[in-house]
Structure 1
Amino acid sequence: MSVQLVWNNNQEVVEITEELIGTLEKLLEKAAEMEKITDGEVALTFVTDQEIHELNKEYRGIDRPTDVLSFAMNESIDEELDIIYDLGENEAIDLPEILGDIIISVETAIAQSKEYGHSIDREIGFLFVHGFLHLLGYDHQDEASEAEMMGKQEKVLAEVGLSR
């Protein structure tokens, strides 16, 4: 078992290459390994500033675009729904736990990559790991929790070769 990445592209600003998806899969593998997550699924969607603005306003009450949003699926699915039976074979199929959704605005990622002086792939990778850690309950409301989260993000990015 492993943590799987399922992705969608709802924007046409940046081409989402197989190489980028491969890098994100490696980042997910490293971050999951670091957090001792052995099974699950993460849904990633690439969007425009307009779409993330609407989501940010609707779900967080903040009327502006942002770089990344995470929606954790903390509730466990009832055990009856955890297993689907194949009627032909009557064998149980285990479903991966859905960890949650990560939404990344590529327009904001482009602007931030220019501001910080690194590649768009590095910025998207950073936002993806940041979003993944949020799915697991990490936050950055104070200096200590921010330092912990930033340290974990940088470690994962460095292991995949996306250091600053």
Structure 2
Amino acid sequence: MLKFFSEEIDFKLPFQQKTSKWIKTVSISEGYEIGDLNYIFCSDDYLLEINKQYLDHDYYTDIITFDNSEEEGKIEGDIYVSVDRVKENAIDFGVDVETEMRRVLIHGLLHLMDYTDTSEELKAQMRAKEDECLLIY
């Protein structure tokens, strides 16, 4: 079951039903089923503390994905999204906030489908996949 929450901020994802359907469509197109998948929207400071505590990183980020999957082909996890960072990145990249939010949401999903961005080549591949997914929104 796909769920959306917020922690320490007042945020509600616009077009939640459409976005939920889109996320499910992307997962099915990649051969995955959505199990328990939670998107948690939070502030920069909240996500920074998670980054420090669990990943030993002392910097802001727009997303952190925790994979809780136990069955192959079934996506389960928690995806934390900094609304502050998404808004700032939208300005930096010259896109609207909703588009940048969708990109970040799908980025987290792609991580749970074994896409990675640990090198420049893999980052480019992931960005291309994000662009492909955004076209079907």
TM over 0.5: yes
Residues in 2 aligned to 1:157 and 1:26: alpha-carbon distance in whole angstroms:
13
Runs (4+) of structure 1 exceeding 4 A deviation are none
- Corresponding residue number in structure 1 for 2:56: 61
- Matched residues, number: 135
- Look up the SS of the partner of 1:65 in the other structure: coil
- The 1:111/1:70 distance shift into structure 2, 3 A limit, reads same
Q: CA RMSD, aligned part only?
A: 1.8
Distance across 2 between alignment mates of 1:114 and 1:159: 23
Whether 1:116 and 2:111 are equivalent positions in the alignment is no
Gaps spanning 5+ residues in structure 2: where?
A: none
Pair 1:16-2:12 in alignment: yes
**What amino acid is the match of 1:129?**
I
Q: CA deviation at 1:38?
A: 3.1
Matches within 5 A, 1:10-159: 10-12=7-9, 15-19=11-15, 21-76=16-71, 99-159=76-136
Q: What is the deviation of 1:9?
A: 1.2
- 1:46-74 deviations in whole A, cap 9, x for unaligned? 00011000000111111122100000013
TM-score (norm 1): 0.74
Q: Secondary structure at the match of 2:37?
A: strand
TM-score by structure 2 length? 0.87
Supply the AA of the counterpart residue of 2:136: E
Q: Distance in 2 between matches of 1:137 and 1:39?
A: 14
Report the Cα distance in structure 2 between the residues aligned to 1:115 and 1:156, rounded to whole angstroms. 21
Letter in 1 for 2:25: K
- Are the counterparts in 2 of residues 126 and 157 from structure 1 also a CA contact under 8 Å? yes
Identity score, percent: 25
Query: Aligned equivalents of 1:129 and 1:59: distance in 2?
Result: 22
Identify if the C-alpha distance between structure 1 residues 140 and 118 changes in structure 2 by more than 3 Å, giving closer, same or farther.
same
Q: Give unpaired runs (5+ residues) of structure 1.
A: 77-96
Contact 2:116 2:123 in 1 (8 A): yes
Q: CA deviation at 1:42?
A: 1.2
Which of the pair has more CA radius of gyration? 1
